[in-house]
Structure 1
Amino acid sequence: MGSARIFLAEAVGTAILIIGGVGTAVFDGDKAGVLGVALAFGLSLAVAAYLIGPISGCHINPAITAAMAVVKKTDPRLVPAYVGGQVVGGLFGALLIWSIGQGMPGFTAVGVDGQKNIVSVSEAGFASNGYGIHSPDHYNLGAVMLAEVVATAVFALVVLGTTASGFPAAVGGLVAGAGLGLVHLVTIPVSNTSVNPARSLATAVFQHGWALRQVWVFIVFPLLGGALAGVAWMTLRRAHEAAAVAASAEPATVAARD
């Protein structure tokens, strides 16, 4: 795969994720609610997977690229093309949302100032991720860090599972989308759900305030979660392979005894 093709495919896929997921949160978050936003992110990933999956594998998330690199399913030399495309695509998607929003009277990407509880994803400021007073339910930094690591690791394991030999490729996009929707259902109240540094950076740039000061959390800890998922996946695979070897050797041992 050429790096230019990967860059372009990942940019298109990430833009779709941002437009579908973040766009729903920004424009219709109050009406759609947590369930609707989670569904929008999941469907957006599924659509992108079937569109660009044959070209780049549809990572559209630096944390997934990290997991794929750890398990050696992605050439390390192509990581810059993957991540570069994801960042550019995320920013482009966010720019489209921001531009459309300018046509609505009173639209703002800033959100509330922390003087009252954030009661909807739209009030978080361009659907940005945050902790403390910028968390939807005011979760502290430690809770947000843990939630992002665990949620990203779970999601990355789901994605890795869809790439395993023998997994039906035809449903891979749907399963990955369901996984993303699930972690959103759990963690939207905690951090507005990142699990994707490109998504967090894109919204933080247009919120252009507190979100940029807090975005490091949503870069570092999703990447950590993705890497941990890669390590866990390799450990599980080795254990499975060892068990398979032992099982295949057992009949021969029994026969030798007979």
Structure 2
Amino acid sequence: MLETTETRTVVSEFLGTLLLVFFGVGAVVLAGEYIATFGIALAFGFTMLALAYALGPISGCHINPAVTLGMLLARRITVRTAVEYWISQVLGAIVGAALLFLVAKQVPGLKTDESFGSNGWGDRSLVNLNLGGAFVAEIVMTFLFVFVVLGVTHKVAVIGFDGLPIGFALATVHFIGVPLDGTSVNPARSIGPALFAGGAAVTQLWLFLVAPLIGGALAAVVHHLTHPPQERLIVADDASPSATRS
């Protein structure tokens, strides 16, 4: 039974990250000129919202190494689970990007070199944001997203509404982040497209690995201060079983 449960969770993280990359980054690559920033943000947010409901009961629907790091530092998962999730997420992102690459190659005249929905700063930013600005932006945006995830996934969180703030938070960071650096807030999401874009997308990739992880770690620290364990325990004792997670 334990092995079956572990298999379900890692498959869920793999599948969730694959779908987030395919549809979210796909909105950038295949439809960006038609839907612009607003549509791209909604694509990421709606995909995250749908997956939160579909996969949340199985794995928690992290589908993001920064979220998994936040959960680990919040002591909600073990180191082993975190490592399994990280591997699944990165592999899922690569496969999702590969499938998207195959589709993009069937569109005549569509260029994928050094772009392909990857993240970047400088001349790869729509507003020419510099390295320092991109680093700070990614930390703050990831902080918001991971903090929201930690805040709404307590054991006393109402199951029917968990996915809404998570999807809204991801859409919100994309509203501001797409013009800045393409919005990462998710190292796995950045790795997949960068491998197929090549060039500067790969050389700039380090920022979109480091900054989101810092943002996720900071979110876990601040969440511990704003939602101390003792307070969560008291609320859990007062909550009715029907309104809580098991």
Fold-level similarity (TM above 0.5): yes
Q: Using the alignment, how far apart are the partners of 2:183 and 2:131 within structure 1?
A: 14
- Give the equivalent residue in structure 2 for 1:117: none
- The aligned runs of 1:1-258 (5 Å cut-off) are 2-111=5-114, 125-238=115-228, 241=231
Q: Using the alignment, how far apart are the partners of 2:56 and 2:155 within structure 1?
A: 16
Q: Using the alignment, how far apart are the partners of 1:77 and 1:169 within structure 2?
A: 26
TM-score, normalization by structure 2:
0.90
Offset of 1:238 from its aligned partner? 2.4
Identity of aligned residues (%): 40
Q: What per-residue deviation string (whole Å, max 9, x for no partner) do you get for residues 95-135 of structure 1?
A: 11100111111222115xxxxxxxxxxxxx11110011111
- Give the equivalent residue in structure 2 for 1:248: none
- Give the equivalent residue in structure 2 for 1:253: none
| Aligned residue type for 2:73 | V
Q: Using the alignment, how far apart are the partners of 1:4 and 1:217 within structure 2?
A: 31
Gaps of 5+ in 1: 112-124, 245-258
Gaps of 5+ in 2: 235-246
- Count of aligned pairs between the two proteins: 231
Give the conservation status (yes or no) of the 8 Å contact 1:6–1:85.
no
Q: What per-residue deviation string (whole Å, max 9, x for no partner) do you get for residues 188-221 of structure 1?
A: 1111000000000001001011100000000000
Q: Using the alignment, how far apart are the partners of 1:239 and 1:3 within structure 2?
A: 26
Greater RCO (CA < 8 Å, at least 6 residues apart): 2
Offset of 1:67 from its aligned partner? 0.4
Q: Using the alignment, how far apart are the partners of 1:107 and 1:33 within structure 2?
A: 16
Offset of 1:42 from its aligned partner? 0.4
Offset of 1:138 from its aligned partner? 0.6
Give the conservation status (yes or no) of the 8 Å contact 1:16–1:93.
yes
Offset of 1:136 from its aligned partner? 1.6
Give the conservation status (yes or no) of the 8 Å contact 1:9–1:56.
yes
Q: Using the alignment, how far apart are the partners of 1:137 and 1:3 within structure 2?
A: 43
Worse-superposed segment, 5-14 or 230-239? 230-239
Give the conservation status (yes or no) of the 8 Å contact 1:162–1:169.
no
Q: What per-residue deviation string (whole Å, max 9, x for no partner) do you get for residues 41-100 of structure 1?
A: 001111111111111100000000000001111111111110111011111111111001
The runs of at least 4 consecutive aligned structure 1 residues that moved more than 6 Å come to none
Q: What per-residue deviation string (whole Å, max 9, x for no partner) do you get for residues 2-52 of structure 1?
A: 433222110100011111110111100011110100000001111111111
Larger Rg: 1
Q: What per-residue deviation string (whole Å, max 9, x for no partner) do you get for residues 162-186 of structure 1?
A: 1124321111112100000000101
TM-score, normalization by structure 1:
0.86
Q: What SS does the corresponding residue of 1:106 show, helix, strand or coil?
A: coil
